[in-house]
A = this chain, B = another copy of it.
Amino acid sequence: MGELSHVDESGAARMVDVSGKAVTARAAVATGTVRTTPDVVALLRRDGLPKGDALATARIAGIMAAKKTPELIPLCHPIALSGVKVEFELGESDVVITATVRTNDRTGVEMEALTAVAVSGLTLHDMIKAVDPRAVLDGVRVEHKHGGKSGEWDR
């Protein structure tokens, strides 16, 4: 059985020293799903009309949150992100969020991708909560990573 990577042998939290790791191109993809009602999805689709900002707001929130990851997750390293993409897929009564994050740095970017998904999802919740206060953010998880020592990883 492995060990928690962010606490030392005495149990104390620390930001692990990564100076010895190689600077390589890395990417991570994470997804999550906002479960809501067909009515809300219809409102979001209608948002596809000129100037409808609901999905754009959630997308921007996700991209900006990816940059804030080291401020939010205490033991994450500050990382020079080289690209962030947030995509939505509208289902019958849900919205699937996919975030792709790229870097050239010493650690992976799965936390950045997860943070983009979670904050996009919460922003959607905020936009729709007057119509559906029961919305749920489900299944926030890493789908794919590559780069670094561990190479390619798929869920």
Chain A residues with CB under 8 Å of chain B are 1-7, 10-19, 25, 32, 39, 42-44, 47-57, 59-61, 63-68, 70-87, 102-106, 110-111, 114-115, 118-119, 121-123, 125-131, 133-142, 153, 155
Most chain B beta-carbon contacts within 10 A, residue among A77, A102, A122, A123: A122
| Dominant secondary structure of chain A at its interface with chain B | mixed
Residues of B within 8 A of A103 (CB): 19
| Cβ-neighbour of A129 out of B5, B68, B155 (below 8 A) | B5
Stoichiometry, copies per complex = 6
Cα A19 to Cα B118 in complex, Å, equals 24
The answer to whether B127 touches A135, judged by C-beta atoms less than 8 angstroms apart, is no
The answer to whether B153 touches A63, judged by C-beta atoms less than 8 angstroms apart, is no
Tell me the smallest distance from the CB of A127 to a CB of chain B, in Å: 5
Residues of B within 8 A of A123 (CB): 72-75
The answer to whether A51 touches B53, judged by C-beta atoms less than 8 angstroms apart, is no
Enumerate 5 A-B pairs (CB-CB under 8 Å) in ascending A order. Answer: A6-B126, A18-B83, A73-B123, A78-B79, A115-B122
